[in-house]
Structure 1
Amino acid sequence: MRIVFVIFCAFLFTSCQYFEMQEKEEHSSEIVAIVNTEKLFKEDLKDLLPRNITKEDSLILVKSLIQDWAVKKLFLKAAETNNSSESLDDINKLVQDYKESLLINNYKEDLIKQKLDTLVTEQEIEEYYLANNENFKLNEVLVKSKYLNFDNNIKDQKEIIELFKSDDIEDAEELERQQLSFKMYQLNDSVWTELDKILLKLPFSKENLLKKSKFIQKQDSLGLYLVAIKDVLNRNDIAPLSYIKPTIKEMILHKRKIELIREIEKLIVKDATKNNNFKIY
């Protein structure tokens, strides 16, 4: 009798736990809207609500989300009902084709990540550049320049101008040490830069910057601007290697990708044929 009582208590305890879990599950899966046979649960909206949102804003957003969900489901039902079977077949074919393309492309990308050699040497880049430099004509004007801008009331203005005009390395280093005093600066004149980008920063005309000049200055209410143009390349000139190098690297890698994909395709067909998984009648 005592054993029966213990079994009964255990059954009662287990049953209580089961109903408590069921109640929690039903509460967490509370239905907030129904469209035909489709149900929207409270849990579905949980991840769509931003954090730290007020209760009032939360209610407004929830209503909007429910409305959008309902409209989508109603439209979908109407579309399924009113589209011809031929249209539905066409749509299903498009969906299947899209799914297959996604799967194939995803697989190809994984293979490329695993097998593609991404190391491109300087020699490869130079050889590619020399063999194809006629294809690298500029669509924009490039300049090698240095410039800076500082307030009108800055101390040692004359000294800064003299340092800027100088070609001496020690003067250039001294100018670098004073860069915190400048509102804007670019002191490396060995890098090619698009002229249009410089014109956005400096109040000079395009004509002023299209010719080599050791020193140009201009003053306005915002301060004094100093510019030196070391070299100029015009539209349709061959782009310098240093400027086009990142593009060439991408072109080399793209060519390798295509060649790798072709090799993989040949290998897949070869293996399938060898294993009698591919036959042509």
Structure 2
Amino acid sequence: MALLTGCINTLKDNNSPLLARVHDKYLYISDIQGIVPDNSTPRDSIALIRSYVNDWVRTNVMIYQAQQNLPAGQLDFTKQLEDYRNSLIIYRYETKLIDQTLDTIVTDNDIESYYNTHSSDFELKENITKAVYVIIEDDLEIEEKYDQIFSLPDSLLFDSLAYYTTTNTVSSYLDTTKWLSFYNVQQIIPIETYNRELFLKNNRFVKIVTDRYLYFVKFIDFKIKDDISPLDFKRNDIYNIIISRRKVRLAKKVRNDIYERALKNDEFEIYYH
């Protein structure tokens, strides 16, 4: 403990006493600069240093044993490191060129065309729905008002909800255009059902009363798992797919262009026929 406490003080004056040794490898205090935050308590600092030193010892004990017991051919990573370095260099340069020239504008026509061509790829993995909901506390007057609103035809319902649902709710969701995961809806609304598909097919409105809250839910539309997903539900995914494909094509073009330019400028020679 005294040694580690001294280490904390030494960290501040930049001396480098020895902390640990594994055979001919040494760990000095100067090697651990930065692992102890300036605002750490002495107890926390000691714990951090002790943990770091123990990990260092364990790691280097394993390295030593591996070096002693593996054949020399399995310890030479020169080629792998060079290959890895080259891959990183190429990746970073390609990324830079792609970022400079990539067309990131994807039109609605692009998305719709891809969706229509690949619609079979977009089978739903879950049930989804369009729905609006309101959650209120147990208040008879407010409850009666929402009973009236949710009995209105759709042509009046949504405008009425937008007008009335301001400060008298615990929570609400009034977007009629977005598809929602039915599972996620169930995380908010305590809908209990053993058959989600059948529930969606048979219910357009539900009112749920709990000890504390009342839940009003209007289901506008739904799609069942394994149905073809609506375009809007996959719009962002399709955008990302299109961009990803453009990147792949552009990366191939970049490589080919660089090769052809080098060939034209006599930058390389191949010595076989």
Bigger CA radius of gyration: 1
Q: 2:17 aligns with which of 26, 31, 37?
A: 31
Q: 1:173 aligns with which of 162, 185, 188?
A: 162
Shift of 1:182: 2.0
Aligned to 2:87: 101
Instruction: Find the residue that maps to 2:188 and give its secondary structure.
Output: coil
Whether the 8 Å CA contact 1:209–1:229 is kept in 2: the answer is: no
Whether the 8 Å CA contact 2:197–2:224 is kept in 1: the answer is: no
TM-score by length of 1: 0.80
Q: How many residues align?
A: 253
Q: Distance in 2 between matches of 1:62 and 1:136?
A: 52
Give the alignment of 1:238-249 within 5 angstroms.
238-249=228-239
* Aligned-residue identity in percent: 27
Structure 2: 5+ residue runs without aligned partners?
A: 1-9
After superposition, give the CA deviation of every residue in 1:62-120 in whole Å (9 maximum; x if it has no partner): 1221232233233323322332111113x333333222222222222222212211111
After superposition, give the CA deviation of every residue in 1:125-158 in whole Å (9 maximum; x if it has no partner): 1222222222222121111111122121364220
Structure 1: 5+ residue runs without aligned partners?
A: 1-23
Alignment of 1:127 with 2:113, yes or no, is yes
Residues 187 and 28 of structure 1: CA distance in aligned 2, closer, same or farther (over 3 Å): same
Give the alignment of 1:8-87 within 5 angstroms.
28-33=14-19, 35=21, 36-87=23-74
Residues 213 and 74 of structure 1: CA distance in aligned 2, closer, same or farther (over 3 Å): closer
Higher relative contact order (CA 8 A, sep 6+): 2
1:85 partner letter:
A
Residues 170 and 194 of structure 1: CA distance in aligned 2, closer, same or farther (over 3 Å): closer
Whether the 8 Å CA contact 1:164–1:175 is kept in 2: the answer is: no
What's the Cα RMSD here?
A: 2.4
Shift of 1:214: 4.1
Q: Distance in 2 between matches of 1:124 and 1:268?
A: 29
Q: Distance in 2 between matches of 1:250 and 1:173?
A: 33
Structure 1 moving runs of 4+ over 4 Å: none
Shift of 1:217: 1.0
Alignment of 1:219 with 2:205, yes or no, is no
Whether the 8 Å CA contact 1:32–1:42 is kept in 2: the answer is: yes
Shift of 1:278: 2.9
Instruction: Find the residue that maps to 1:181 and give its secondary structure.
Output: coil
TM-score by length of 2: 0.82
